[in-house]
């Protein structure tokens, strides 16, 4: 773990040592088609230029945290497919960070290709669109030789995850720093708990369980959107605005939210599951605005040593709500999210010194960027995202799915053409409803695994 709040005069970044790092990798001339001059911090200035791709709730939150890190940072460009979020988020960021936000009108890029030009202006890119786009955007940022902070999940299907894994390797070769928004890795209570688990505080772990059981998050209803914009929306635009409910954009809520818990369990195991089976469906959250995702999944993941993880995620209002992770061992039990160990080595985390993990992850990431410390969370981000995809494939199909099947799946959920008038990858039926996967059905199996 880095110690971002301790000044480290020895590793204070200078333009010179940053260039040294990048030029070693890139042969001193070109980086992904861009001159070093353009991709390093500006001459005589250690300002880190930030570009935000995806100006929504989390993107603006991440930009706020990036702009709150130590040292000189500046938001210089933004990209989004819509203009409506952009101006308001920039206004709020400008209000808080004043001279750290300098986004002229010609640096507000709009459209499906907007990310490319915006990325060109960055030292650090923040990727915070719906996750379906993450592999494409990450690949481009690495191609252009940029450091990246990207939100989780980092992909929604096998082809996307493979793209991220390949780009992660490329990022390592180029000495690019990559942070992934799985902020529990930067949360002191989790870090201290995990140390103890790895040191054997509860003995051999015999069972694990985790939950993201809660209520339905936001929904953008077609009629309300059309009333707001005063025009009918194309199917593509509607899905992009109501992205949570479409697999190609969101991956289902098992990917979108439960990934946090699954990632913690992978951290406990220092590994990833080898297979999964599960049950799931859409029992209550039905209707034309709830797309094609399930409202509950219960998955049993198996790790290489034969240990099992029981996982549940549910989005049904009025049911038991619980977001947590737990492990039981031969010497005790651990409430991982509560940071409590019971049994022979009883312990409880005291929260002194704990900081907001969202800020901490940015402090750690920017410390690595400025001081050239090794930092690449992309591979774990991709494999924890794949864990969630594996779970989804298991519940959608009703079969046992192997890790390698999920990873090597040829089912690509993304559309072939990105345009508001292009065909969306899924269409509603005549009743306005989208088809839901049918476990046990061979035709569906081919569409989802
Ligand atoms: N780490 C966390 O705890 C946490 C919390 C919330 C959200 N997130 C993640 O952040 C991501 C974004 O979530 P959000 O809540 O900010 O969503 P949001 O809908 O508020 O914002 C998404 C933004 O991306 C834009 N966008 C969509 N497609 C784009 C494209 N192709 N190119 C450029 N911009 C595009 C949208 O117009 C919108 O402005 C998700 O992956 C989500 O899981 C993480």
CATH number at residue 161: 3.40.50.720
Query: Is residue 232 included in any domain, yes or no?
Result: yes
Question: 309 with 248, same domain?
Answer: yes
Domain end (from 325, 345, 376):
376
Say how many Å lie between the CA of residue 55 and the centre of ligand 1.
7
Q: What is the pLDDT of residue 44?
A: 55
Question: 115 with 261, same domain?
Answer: no
pLDDT for 15 beyond 80: no
Question: 153 with 196, same domain?
Answer: no
Question: 428 with 301, same domain?
Answer: yes
Q: Cα 235 to the chain's mean position, in Å? A: 25
* Atom 4 (ligand 1) nearest CA: 58
Comparing CA positions, the residue from 283, 313, 343 lying closest to residue 209 is: 313
Question: 156 with 224, same domain?
Answer: no
Query: Is residue 370 included in any domain, yes or no?
Result: yes
| Beta-ladder partners of 124 | 50, 147
Tell me the C-alpha distance between 139 and 238, whole Å: 26
Over residues 234-263, mean pLDDT: 98
Query: What is the value of pTM for the model shown?
Result: 0.92
Atom in ligand 1 nearest the alpha carbon of residue 257: 43
Question: 171 with 262, same domain?
Answer: no
| Beta-ladder partners of 298 | 279, 312
Question: 142 with 288, same domain?
Answer: no
CATH number at residue 417: 3.30.360.10
Longest CA–CA separation in the chain, Å: 66
Give the mutation target among 51, 80, 244, 253 for probing the ligand 1 site: most ligand atoms within 8 A of CB.
80
Atom in ligand 1 nearest the alpha carbon of residue 136: 31
Helix extents (H) in 334-440 = 357-371, 378-397, 403-408
389-439 per-position pLDDT tens digit: 999 999 999 999 999 999 999 999 999 999 999 999 999 999 999 999 999
In the 8-state DSSP scheme, what is residue 72?
A: -
Query: Is residue 2 included in any domain, yes or no?
Result: no
Query: Is residue 1 included in any domain, yes or no?
Result: no
Residue 53, Cβ density class (10 Å: 0-12 exposed, 13-18 middle, ≥19 buried): buried
Higher pLDDT, 13 or 428: 428
Question: 227 with 93, same domain?
Answer: no
pLDDT for 29 beyond 60: no
* Atom 17 (ligand 1) nearest CA: 56
Q: Which residues line ligand 1 (CB under 6 A)?
A: 53-59, 79-82, 85, 112, 115, 128-131, 133, 151-152, 181, 183, 240, 256
User: What residues make up the domain containing 234?
Assistant: 192-353+384-448
Number of folded domains in the chain?
2
Two structure tokens written together for 400: 């046992």
Give the mutation target among 63, 113, 128 for probing the ligand 1 site: most ligand atoms within 8 A of CB.
128
Question: 89 with 177, same domain?
Answer: yes
Three-class SS state of 200: coil
Atom in ligand 1 nearest the alpha carbon of residue 86: 39
**Cβ contacts of 72 within 8 Å, gap of 6 or more:** 45, 46, 47, 48
Angle between helices 357-371 and 57-67 (to 10 degrees): 60
* Atom 5 (ligand 1) nearest CA: 58
Question: 165 with 61, same domain?
Answer: yes
247-260 per-position pLDDT tens digit: 999 999 999 999 99
Tell me the C-alpha distance between 323 and 358, whole Å: 18
Higher pLDDT, 155 or 32: 155
Mean pLDDT of the chain: 91
Question: 108 with 66, same domain?
Answer: yes
Question: 363 with 435, same domain?
Answer: no
Over residues 162-180, mean pLDDT: 98
């Amino acid at each position: 773990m880095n110690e971002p709040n301790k000044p480290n005069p020895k590793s204070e970044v200078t333009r010179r040592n940053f260039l040294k790092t990048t030029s070693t990798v890139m042969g001193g001339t070109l980086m992904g088609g861009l001159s070093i001059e353009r991709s390093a911090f500006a001459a005589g200035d250690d300002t880190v230029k930030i570009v935000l791709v995806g100006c929504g709730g989390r993107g603006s939150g991440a930009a706020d945290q990036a702009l709150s890190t130590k040292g000189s940072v500046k938001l210089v460009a933004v990209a989004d497919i819509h203009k409506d979020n952009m101006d308001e988020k920039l206004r709020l960021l400008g209000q808080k960070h004043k001279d750290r936000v300098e986004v002229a009108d010609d640096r507000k890029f709009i459209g499906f290709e907007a990310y490319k030009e915006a990325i060109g202006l960055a030292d650090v890119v923040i990727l915070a669109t719906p996750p379906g786009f993450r592999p494409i955007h990450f690949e481009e940022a690495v191609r252009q030789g940029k450091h990246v902070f990207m939100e989780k999940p980092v992909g929604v299907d096998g082809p996307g995850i493979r793209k991220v894994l390949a780009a992660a390797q490329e990022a390592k070769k180029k000495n690019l720093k990559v942070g992934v928004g799985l902020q529990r890795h930067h949360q002191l209570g989790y870090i201290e708990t995990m140390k103890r688990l790895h040191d054997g505080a509860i003995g051999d772990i015999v069972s694990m369980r985790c939950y993201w059981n809660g209520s339905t998050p936001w929904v953008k209803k077609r009629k309300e959107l059309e009333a707001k914009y005063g025009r009918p929306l194309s199917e593509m635009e509607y899905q992009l605005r109501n992205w949570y409910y479409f697999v190609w954009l969101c991956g289902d809520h098992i990917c979108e939210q439960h990934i946090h818990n699954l990632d913690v369990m992978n951290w406990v195991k220092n590994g990833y599951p080898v297979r999964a089976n599960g049950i799931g469906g859409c029992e209550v959250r039905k209707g034309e605005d709830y797309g094609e995702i399930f409202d509950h999944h219960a998955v049993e993941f198996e790790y290489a040593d034969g240990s099992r993880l029981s996982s549940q995620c549910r989005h049904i209002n009025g049911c038991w709500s619980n977001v947590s992770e737990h492990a039981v061992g031969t010497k005790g039990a651990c409430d991982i999210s509560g940071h409590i160990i019971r049994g022979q080595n009883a312990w409880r985390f005291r929260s002194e010194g704990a900081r907001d993990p969202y800020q901490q992850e940015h402090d750690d990431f920017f410390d690595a960027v400025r001081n050239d410390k090794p930092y690449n969370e992309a591979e774990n981000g991709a494999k924890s995202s794949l864990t969630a995809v594996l779970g989804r494939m298991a519940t959608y199909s009703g079969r046992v799915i192997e890790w390698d099947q999920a990873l090597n799946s040829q089912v690509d959920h993304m559309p072939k053409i990105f345009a508001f008038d292009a065909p969306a990858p899924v269409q509603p039926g005549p009743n306005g409803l989208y088809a839901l996967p049918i476990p046990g059905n061979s035709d569906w199996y081919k569409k989802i695994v």
